[in-house]
Structure 1
Amino acid sequence: MFNRWMQIMKLALPSIVSFASATVTGTISLLLVGQLGALVIAIVGVSNIIMYNAWALSSGIGHTVNYLVAQSAGAGEWRKAIERTYLASYLCIGLGLLVAAAGTFAPEALLHLMGGSPELVEAGKGYLQLRFYAMVFTIGSFVLQGFFRGIGDTRTPMIMSFISNIGMIVLTYGLTYGHLGLPELGLAGAGIAFLIGELAALVWGLYVFFIRLHPRLHTRARIPFNLPEFKLIAGESGKLALNEFAMSMAMFVFTAFVTRLGTAALAANEVSLNVMALGFMPAFGFGATATILVGQEIGKGLNQAARRIGTDTALIGSILLLLLGVAEFIWAEPIARLYSSDPEVYRLAADLIRISAFLQLFDGLFNFYAGGLRGIGDTTFLLVTSISLNWLLFLPLAYVLIFMLGYSSYGAWIALYTFIFALGCAVLIRYYFRDWTSIRAKQAQQAEPVH
């Protein structure tokens, strides 16, 4: 068991650091631009939800590359791992063009759709446009990170994250307020910082893939187009993208509900979600590790070992989340004060942080076991569960508690964590009640020969 736990930690820690750096960057960026006022905090919060939806539509490609490459690597089929990454990149380019078009033509309409005031729409449309353009580079980076993690290299995604996030922090500080000899651009400067940071991460990822890994894996080899494999990647990417999109669209509608409670409520909600993101660090890190290790064991044909290592990953991650929840509960108000000096904002945010402190364990369970289910390719279950719980439980309950029963922000977060509890329980039950003896590595369906 000790060796398994060490293997898990060796893969998980770089992923946790990677996600942590992204979370800390979001926190620092919000703290920096938050000094411009509650309106700017609200703009950043609404923009984050919109960009989460844009990311969700493309995230399926990265998740698919991650688990398919893990299975290929476990089986020792390195050429297939490279081939699947190349084919995924074609999908990535097409989606990048769509995201760029949305950034050019849709920001103002999306801010209106979110229920933003005329002042918010006018002040935020330029910032949102820059975030869309940055997302084009994010899509490419996520696909490369899926490959790196699939082959068991979690350090390269960590370095990509560092390059991106350090650049974002420095440039946000400089371009927002005119420090470091840079022009003072206000909120637009923060958007430019996102754009440059994401581009830098993509450039580093391409360098590692095509230059550093080529001698060992022949990553610059000519790969002929394989239609059955392309269909497999497109189909799996579609399911995983719809899974994420169902969740992100639900958060989109949820934020639209909160927006109608006023700027202070929206700002408190954004602060609380930002603090919640601290719990996403171990959740995402160990979830990604579960996908890697379960997928590799399935590739080797060691199904029971795959099931066991997924359990160990969830156990370690849960311990860390419990410790984090204790700290958040004790220091909820001092944490909230870091984001805003407005008593109406930080007091409400502190209450919401306390609500989430221990309940975020179920968000962890979802990530841990969903990661394991991705590792075995159980993507249809994840899609059906996400759609049904988001749209049949979460949003109807949020509407009732917020608007019909008048519980405002507290009702919103009770609905959110009721949903997360149900989601965590659903994937846990699925993981342990699957017939693991029948699971095989995912293969493309070859066309029948014509006689």
Structure 2
Amino acid sequence: MFASKESGDGKKTRIFMWSKNSTRNDVINIAWPVLLELLMGSLFGMVDMMMLGRMGDNSLAAASVSAVGMTNQPLFIGLSLVQALNVGGTAMIARYLGSKRTDKIETTLKHVILLSLIMLAIPISVLGIIFTGPIMKFMGAANDTLQVGGSYFKIIMVGFIFQSFNMSISAALRGIGETKTPMKINLRANFFNVIGNAVLIYGLFGLPKLGVTGAGISTAISNVIASVFLFRYIIKGKSIIKLDIKKSFKIDKNIIYNLVKIGVPASLEQLVLRAGVLMFVRIVAGLGTVVYASHQISLNILSLSFQPGQAFGIAASSLVGRSIGAKELSKAESYAKETRKIGSLISTFMAIIFFFFGPQIVGLYSKDPRIIQNASIALKIIALVQPFQSSQLILAGALRGAGDTFWPLVATFVGVLLIRVVLAHLLVNIFGYGLAGAWMAVFMDQFVRWFFVYMRFRTGKWKYIKIR
């Protein structure tokens, strides 16, 4: 009896000590809004895919799901380049906040917004709209996919301009640890997107039934709505991140230097990643529309599993950047290790769900037994990927927060181009393992990337990266 009471008191003490850890609290306070935002964004995306996958005509549904997958890949290249520039903005703003050089924050934000719009978002959008057909053909789209996906791609590329603007502001807010505001705004926009999708895909309330085109219109409008809310927030000046549109803008050579130093390797990393994923997608697309639809559903579910790693990676970037700015190097390392620990626990839980409940999850997307069988096999492999994927994403986030973007580039080059693409070609085209072979290549890619990033983190050299 006495021993039982003592054991209970010991558990309470451990729980109390766990909850009172200041490093852990800092990590959770920044990470949970990002995690909720990303998870809900992925869930909303999954609902969109389910709506398309469960349209009455199975062949039209498969073509629509494939169209979204194929048009999303070139879109993700553009988003990744914008995000790479934002990595520099997040790291710099976190550093300036830690070193109390807050006068540099607004001008950094202006540089990031203008560069992302003028150099990336607008040119990519225009090229995407002009070359829709050739881009989709290059992606390996079959005739049925081309027929339903062309209008969707053009509309999505218009929304891309506003999405890029949103990403730049959100990245700046996260750099100072302000993650609740972008969460609230993006959740509202995503909620509108889901409602709009239901109305426009199925033609509710007397509106025309637009299918995948309706999904594109709803997504673009939701991006515009998020832009309006985020812009209003930063011009009100209630945050450290503020934008005075009346103040004249001057090019700052030091900020450009820092953005180039941090952003170029991050941009190259994203180009390598997306080029590798494009080649990987073309390999899988050769297996046919139904198998590709299975693959796209698997990717959609995989995107959900990215979220803990991405959320805690963002927390690591902010906290590591601020700590290094304040010259608290041991604290920076503690933050990185704590984010990795918590993110890995969440990813392990998700892995268990994917492994044991794969058919039930895939069944939410499609009633086609072939798609359910193919995607369920992929989900078992996705479950095994989780520990390496989460650790790699979080530690890479810590390195980027320190301004060390070269080694994540090396990890991605080796993992994606030399491992994923080559291995997928061998397993799918040479040895005939089909979709399972493609996902085995994904597993090996994530393992190799984790190894490179982990070894770099262990050296501790990332703590001494300088910015101006």
TM-score by length of 1: 0.94
Cα separation, partners in 2 of 1:166 and 1:204, compared to 1, 3 Å = same
Partner of 1:243: 269
1:41 Cα shift?
1.1
Checking the alignment, whether the CA contact within 8 Å between 1:102 and 1:132 is kept in structure 2 is: no
The match for 2:10 is none
Structure 1 equivalent of residue 187 of structure 2: 162
CA contact (8 A) 1:160 1:202 kept: no
Give the 3-state SS of the residue equivalent to 2:204 in structure 1: coil
Give, in whole Å, the separation in 2 of the partners of 1:335 and 1:89: 38
Q: Give 1:99 shift.
A: 2.0
Q: Please, which of 336, 340, 343 is the counterpart of residue 310 of structure 1? A: 336
Q: Does 1:276 align with 2:295?
A: no
Q: Which moved more, 1:341-350 or 1:42-51?
A: 42-51
Are positions 1:133 and 2:158 aligned together? Answer: yes
Q: What is the CA-CA distance between 1:259 and the residue it aligns to?
A: 0.5
Asked if the contact 2:88–2:258 (Cα under 8 Å) also holds between the matched residues in 1, the reply is no
> What 5-or-longer segments of structure 2 have no aligned partner?
1-17, 56-60
Alignment partner of 2:48 out of 29, 43, 46: 29
Structure 2 Cα separation of the partners of residues 218 and 113 of structure 1: 42
What residue is the counterpart of 2:200 in the other structure?
175
> How far 1:235 moved relative to its partner?
4.1
Partner of 1:99: 124
1:386 aligns with 2:386: no
2:401 is equivalent to residue 375 of structure 1: yes
Identify the residue that residue 97 of structure 2 maps to in structure 1.
Answer: 73
Secondary structure of 1:116's counterpart equals coil
Q: Give RMSD over aligned pairs.
A: 1.6
- Cα shift at 1:164: 2.0
Q: Within 5 A, what are the aligned runs for 1:133-152?
A: 133-152=158-177
Q: Is the 8 A contact 1:333 1:350 kept in 2?
A: yes
Distance, in Å, in 2 between the alignment partners of 1:239 and 1:363 is 20
* C-alpha contact 1:67 1:375 (8 A) present in aligned 2: yes
Amino acid at match of 1:386: T
Q: CA deviation at 1:135?
A: 1.0
Question: CA 1:439–1:50 in structure 2 vs 1: closer, same or farther (change >3 Å)?
Answer: same
User: Shift of residue 326 of structure 1?
Assistant: 0.9
Matched, 1:210 2:235: yes
* Offset at residue 351 of structure 1 (A): 1.0
* Candidates 25, 38, 50, aligned match of 2:62: 38
User: What amino acid is the match of 1:239?
Assistant: P
Give, in whole Å, the separation in 1 of the partners of 2:166 and 2:272. 22
Counterpart residue type for residue 75 of structure 1: S
Q: Does the 8 A contact of 1:268 with 1:346 survive in 2?
A: yes
Aligned partner of 1:358 among 362, 380, 384: 384
Contact 2:384–2:443 (Cα < 8 Å) also in 1? no
Q: 1:424 deviation in Å?
A: 1.1
- Equivalent position amino acid for 1:114 in 2: M
| Distance across 2 between alignment mates of 1:135 and 1:167 | 17
Number of the residue aligned with 2:438: 412
2:35 aligned partner: 16
1:449 match: none
Does the 8 A contact of 2:159 with 2:220 survive in 1?
yes
CA distance in structure 1 between the partners assigned to 2:369 and 2:210 by the alignment: 28
Matching residue's letter, 1:410: A
What secondary structure is seen at the aligned counterpart in 1 of 2:364? Answer: helix
Q: Does the residue aligned with 1:424 lie in a helix, a strand or coil?
A: helix
The sequence identity of aligned pairs, in percent, is 24
1:185-241: CA deviations, max 9, x gaps? 222111001100111111111111111436x66631444321232232144322212
Give the total of aligned pairs: 441
TM (normalized to structure 2)?
A: 0.91
SS in 2 for 1:70: helix
Deviation (angstroms), 1:163: 2.3
Unaligned runs of 5+ in 1: 444-451
The alpha carbon displacement at 1:358 in A equals 2.9
Is 1:52 aligned with 2:52?
Answer: no
| Offset, 1:312 | 0.7
